[in-house]
Each structure stands twice: as structure tokens, then as C-alpha cells.
Amino acid sequence: MRRPLHPPRLPDPGLKRLLDLALGSALLALAAPLLAAAALAVAVRRPPGGLLVRDTRTGLAGRLFTLRRLATRHRRLRLLSQLPHVVRGEMSLVGPAPLPPGAPGAAAPWRQSVRPGLTGLAQLRQRQRSALPWDEPLLLDQHYVEHHWLGLDLALLLRALAPTGRASDADHRVRGYSAAE
């Protein structure tokens, strides 16, 4: 019997959680002064009502949690303000986007088998302002869940740290493909 060329990479949830805890804690400590300054700026400009936006999201095993993030229009600051969720174990640094209960795909068994992430395949594609068909983010999230491993997580984290640029979608689409068709 021949062995497969590429053995399946089974995710190690303990190793992934260790990475989330270590890197998430370090990033939170480094970002704390920036987040404090951003919170002060939001407090000065925002009418009374709070510095944080609160939303209910579906997490690991379908558990609901309240996602708190800084009420700012700066995407990176919003992401950094969600780091406490990573440290607490409600989210991961990399994973499918956290969806509200009832959203398409929120109750999918594959989605509930992992923690939602600050970044992931679908989030990076959207950040690159690509013209995604409506269902592609769900497919990218499912692909991540079915194929994730620590190396992929590290590659996605490095991509998330890279400056935002307009990227082509031609790398994975058939020549002549159009989302409008």
C-alpha cells in the first residue's frame, strides 16, 4: 500500500491555544497604550453611550458570547481591542469570522468545531477588497476549518500584519470567471 504524498495535517488544539494565549497576551500588552489612547480619543469625540460596541456572537460549540470592541472606525484598532477575547479563549487569533446567531452558516457544525478568529482566509480576502461572490467567505471559512494547521495560522497572521494592498483574485479562479454570472 502506497503512503500519501502529503499526510493529513491534524490540528493540535492544545498547541493552537498555546499560540493564541502567548501571542495574544504579548500583543495585548504591547497594544495597551495604543488602545488606551484610542479609547480616550473615542471618549472625547463620541456622545455618551460607551466606548465599546457589544454584539452577540456564536463561538466554539455554538456557545454565545458578547463580543466587545472599541467603537472606532479604524479596523486595526477594532481588531486589537478584541484581543481580550483571544486571551480568555472565546476567540482565536486565526479562524472563521465570528458570526451573530442566526446568520447564514453560524450554526454549521464545521464552524462550531473551532473558535472564531480575529483574522482568517475570508477576512483577509475581504480586506484586500476583492470582489467576492456572496457565498465565498463561507466557503473560505469552511476550507480553513477543514485544512487548518499551525503553519497555515502563522502564514495568515503574517499576511494580516502586511500592509493592505489591492490583490488579484486571479490566483484561484478559472480564467474568465465572473462573480456576476
3-state secondary structure the chain: CCCCCCCCCCCCHHHHHHHHHHHHHHHHHHHHHHHHHHHHHHHHHCCCCCCEEEEEEECHHHCEEEEEEECCCCHHHHHHCCHHHHHHCCCEEECCCCECCCCCCCCCHHHHCCCCEEECHHHHHHHCCCCCCCCHHHHHHHHHHHHCCHHHHHHHHHHHHCCCCCCCCCCCCCCCCCCCC
Q: What is the pLDDT of residue 13?
A: 77
Q: What is the pLDDT of residue 129?
A: 64
Domain that holds residue 53: 13-161
Domain assignment present for 61: yes
On average, the pLDDT of the chain sits at 83
Domain assignment present for 169: no
Per-residue confidence band for 179, with pLDDT thresholds at 50, 70 and 90: very low
Higher pLDDT, 15 or 7: 15
Higher pLDDT, 119 or 123: 119
Q: What is the pLDDT of residue 170?
A: 41
Strand partners, 52: 70
What is the rounded distance in angstroms from the CA atom of residue 164 to the CA atom of residue 74?
13
Domain assignment present for 20: yes
Domain assignment present for 133: yes
Dihedrals phi, psi of 31, to nearest 5 degrees: -85, -10
pTM, 2 dp:
0.79
Q: What is the pLDDT of residue 11?
A: 57
Domain assignment present for 67: yes
Domain assignment present for 166: no
Domain assignment present for 101: yes
Higher pLDDT, 168 or 136: 136
Q: What is the pLDDT of residue 24?
A: 96
The answer on pLDDT for 104 being more than 60 is yes
* Low-confidence winner among 47-51, 57-61, 121-125, 147-151 (lowest mean pLDDT): 47-51
Higher pLDDT, 131 or 73: 73
* Low-confidence winner among 20-29, 84-93, 168-177 (lowest mean pLDDT): 168-177
Total number of domains constituting the chain: 1
Higher pLDDT, 172 or 148: 148
Domain assignment present for 171: no
Nearest to 108 by CA among 65, 154, 144, 148: 144
What is the rounded distance in angstroms from the CA atom of residue 161 to the CA atom of residue 128?
13
